[in-house]
Structure 1
Amino acid sequence: MHPILSDFRRFLLYIVACLLMGAGIARLLVVAGLTTMSYALLLSLPLVLLGGFLASSAYFVCRSLPIAHRRMATAVLVFGSASLISGLIWLGICHGWNKVLMFLMEDGIALQITSHLSVLFFLAGFALYLLALLAFDLYIAFDNMREAERREAASRLLARDAELQVLRSQIDPHFLFNSLNSISALTAIDPAGARGMTIALADFFRQTLSVAEKEKISLNDELRLCENFLAVEKIRFGKKLGSTFNVSPDAGQALIPPMILQPLLENAIKHGIRNLPQGGVITVTVFRRDQWLHISVQNPVGSAGSNSTGNGLGLHNLRQRFAAIYAEQARVTWQKTENEFLLEMALPYEQDRQT
């Protein structure tokens, strides 16, 4: 679609610009003593409007020669020929319209188009069309750049979504296997416990499916997911597993990526509490400071020489997710001492608008 004719406001601006140019030409004719102002306006305004619409065809000439596949010699030949033809057409229009006005008006005020004036009209038409070609060529080049940027942004968005889907799918399957094995063992010695664990496991996976497709959920929703997860694990580990959540009142409605806390709790159990005879307590602390949400997960671990610290895949995936969503605005750090593992996150605070 033509960039001028497809936009009404742009079309009006183009018409106004043509009329102003026509008024300027009329003024020049009057200053040169060639005719009166009334005749000059009657002559120049329609001519410039026709010339403007003639120049608008330069857009299609530029579109017929894509910049990426254009040769300089071909461009010079086509642009020069189109400008030459346009200049001749406009010169013919000038002579024809002037003769019409001469027939309608008094001879004393009519404009006599001499050979010198004909050359000026031709050069004006030639230059106008050539400028239109260059202007539309520049417009198409910028439009192609904007389109390329839009395609690149869309590609980045698709790549980010694909990466997030992969990262979300990398939940440790051992949790499900261990839970099913525990349910199987409990059916013989504690049927009620097996039933309770089955219900808790179903609730956990039901909520997982409801939040996994969302880009962000409230912290309260994530905490409920963690509670369902811990309900399953506490049936397995009993009093060996404890948990404490310290959440400030203004942090509960913060928006966060789904399932960033649950894998951390799973790691805390798998690589920490499970290997301790006396068990331990997982402490989750969340608070808001200015425009940042701070989250920390702390759990006891075995000796520094223990081989149960894992390969760091879950923490690496967490950093990748934050990088895909927040770029460089989020931070994830962790440290391990002889008896404790501490992970800290800081991400931009976003309020859940639906609450």
Structure 2
Amino acid sequence: MHPVLSDFRRLLWYVVTWLLTGILFARFLVTAGMSDWSYSLLLTLPVIFVFSFFATSAYYICRAFPVNQRPFYIAIVIFGSSALISGAILLGLCQGWNQVLALFTGSTYALQMTEYLNVLLLILGFTLYLLSLLAYDVLIAFNTMREAERRATNSKLAARDAELQVLRSQIDPHFLFNSLNSISALTVVDPSAAREMTIALADFFRKTLTLAEQEKVTLRVELELCEHFLAVEKIRFGNKLQTDIQLAANAADALVPGMLLQPLFENAIKHGIRHLRSGGTIAMQILQHHGWLHIRTENPCASNTTPTTGNGLGLLNIRERLATLYGDQARIHWEKKEQQFILEIALPLELKQDEI
């Protein structure tokens, strides 16, 4: 489809540009003393208008002979001959329209088609068509570059989505494996608790299935999911596991990647609470400040454990997901201070838009 004729805005600018060309041509005729303004405009504007649509054929020539596949001699022959034919067409249009006008206005006002003027019209048509060829070459090159950028962007997005899907798919099996181990341990010492934990685990996975298609969820929804997870773990650890979650009111509708917080609680339990005879409290504080969302967790841990005990999948998975989604805009840092493990995350603030 023609890029000018198929786009109303481009077509409007195209016609205006050619009509301005017709006005400049009329001014030349007036300045050269060949005609007055009224007759010059009456002659040039209709001719240029008709010629402008003939010049759209330059697009198809440029498409048929792309710049990167166009031998120099082909360009000279094809472009030169088409421009010469266009010059002859512009000359014929001017002569024919001038005769038509002469019938209605009288020969007194008609333009005298001298040999000089005929050559000038031929050169003008030749030049205008060459400029059209050049303009379409530039337009095609621009469209090709923009299409290549679009394809590259789509490829990056597809690769990012695939990477996120792989990372996301690692979370559920990892959590399920740990939960089944917990249920297995409870079946020996407390079968009723094991049954209760199995039901709580089913509720958790039912909730995750409803959110599986969402790349990002609000913190309110994410924390509701974490409550299901903590319900499972509290059955196992009882009063040893305490939580203190502080969510700022203005951060409740902030968007975060799904299953972002659950691995934080899981890590705190696996590498902290589980190793302490008296257990402890997992403290989480979430707030927004100056366009950033800050998440901080803190939990007690034994002095002889490290954050990388086991395979460390949870925190490493979070780091990779954040890098994929936010690039270098997101930050995650964790450290152990004496018998306290501290983790901090900073994300660009995104708020859920209210539906209208």
Specify if TM > 0.5. yes
1:24 aligned partner = 24
Q: Distance in 2 between matches of 1:153 and 1:236?
A: 47
Number of aligned residues: 355
Percent of aligned positions that are identical: 57
- CA offsets per residue over residues 75-113 of structure 1, 9 Å max, x none? 233222211121122222222222333344422222221
Q: Classify 1:26/1:352 alpha carbon distance in 2 versus 1 (closer, same or farther; 3 Å).
A: closer
8 Å contact from structure 1 (residues 160, 324) kept in 2: yes
Provide the residue aligned with 2:210 in structure 1. Answer: 210
CA contact (8 A) 1:19 1:45 kept: yes
Q: Which residue of 2 aligns with 1:49?
A: 49
Which residue pairs with 1:132 in the alignment? 132
Query: TM-score, with normalisation over the residues of structure 1?
Result: 0.91
Give the match for residue 194 of structure 2. 194
Contact residue 332 and residue 345 of structure 2 kept, 8 A: yes
Q: How far off is 1:331 after superposition? A: 1.1
Sort the Cα spacing of 1:41 and 1:214 in 2 relative to 1 into closer, same or farther, 3 A: same
Secondary structure of the residue that 2:55 maps to in structure 1? helix
Q: Any residues of structure 2 matched to 1:1-355 within 5 Å, and which? A: 1-171=1-171, 173=173, 175-183=175-183, 186=186, 190-304=190-304, 309-354=309-354
Kept after mapping to 2: 8 A contact 1:55/1:132: yes
- Name the CA distance, whole Å, in 2 between partners of 1:99 and 1:117: 15
Residues in 2 aligned to 1:329 and 1:178: alpha-carbon distance in whole angstroms: 31
- Secondary structure of 2:278's aligned partner: coil
Q: TM-score, normalised by structure 2?
A: 0.91
Deviation at 1:304, TM superposition (A): 4.5
Deviation at 1:206, TM superposition (A): 0.9
Unaligned runs of 5+ in 1: none
Query: In the superposition, relative to structure 1, how do residues 98 and 310 fare at CA in structure 2: closer, same or farther (>3 Å)?
Result: same
Q: Distance between the aligned counterparts of 1:337 and 1:304, measured in 2?
A: 12
CA distance in 1, matches of 2:289, 2:41: 69
CA deviation profile, 1:171-210 (whole Å, cap 9, x unmatched): 2635424433544565576453233212211111111112
**Comparing 296-305 with 157-166, which one deviates more in the overlay?**
296-305
Query: Secondary structure of the residue that 2:171 maps to in structure 1?
Result: coil
- Which whole-Å CA distance do the structure 2 matches of 1:174 and 1:122 have between them? 78
Q: 1:107 to 1:155 in 2, by over 3 A?
A: same
**1:343 Cα deviation from its structure 2 partner:** 0.7
RMSD: 2.3
Query: Is the 1:304–1:339 Cα contact (8 Å) retained in structure 2?
Result: no
Distance 1:250 1:145 in 2: 43
